[in-house]
Structure 1
Amino acid sequence: MKQFKGNRKYEDICATMEAAGMTIDRTGLENGGDHCQFKGSWYKKPLTVMYNTFNGQFCVFNGFTGEEIASHMSEELEGEEWYSKLLEALYEPLGA
């Protein structure tokens, strides 16, 4: 699996997600929590990404059914473009 050195800054993640057409639901953060949600079409897949701003972990849900389809631990999705681009949006690559 591709290696990363850590989480990107929250502001940078939000900018990347918005540039890709995702909307940001900050309700969790506004209510004292440590997560936000990115919603919309990510590389032609309707997704909701629940992102923990404290530890960088995430879960991905099908935007139509709500079924969990991936997380930060989904090594089996490494070759999928949408998943690889999501990792790159959330984490700093090793060696950068």
Structure 2
Amino acid sequence: MYSETTGTNPLGTKNEFALDDITGRWKSREGAPDIRVYKSKERKNDCFFMEFAFKAGELFRCPVKKYQGIRYVNLYGVMSLSYNADNDVLQLSAYGKYYRGED
């Protein structure tokens, strides 16, 4: 993980962002699984989920959580999320950069 205070953040990503900004479908150009971020309509507390599509018909859903200002999901290990709003790039610590796909 990088530190915003030391200037070692090459992508210009931020840990603090609104989850509404990252809802939608995301694709990796590096071969990582496609993801979708969505707001649960079944829960009243504005719970957001990240859905991973590893194969056709094989989906994994994980709630997006926050701990000490860091957004993360737990899919067989913790993956932190960061987002660059200027370039619309979502960064997952385990899978790399994602670019917005068609909805």
TM-score normalised by structure 2 residue count: 0.40
Higher normalized helix content (fraction of residues): 1
TM-score, normalization by structure 1: 0.42
Larger strand percent: 2
- Larger Rg over CA atoms: 2
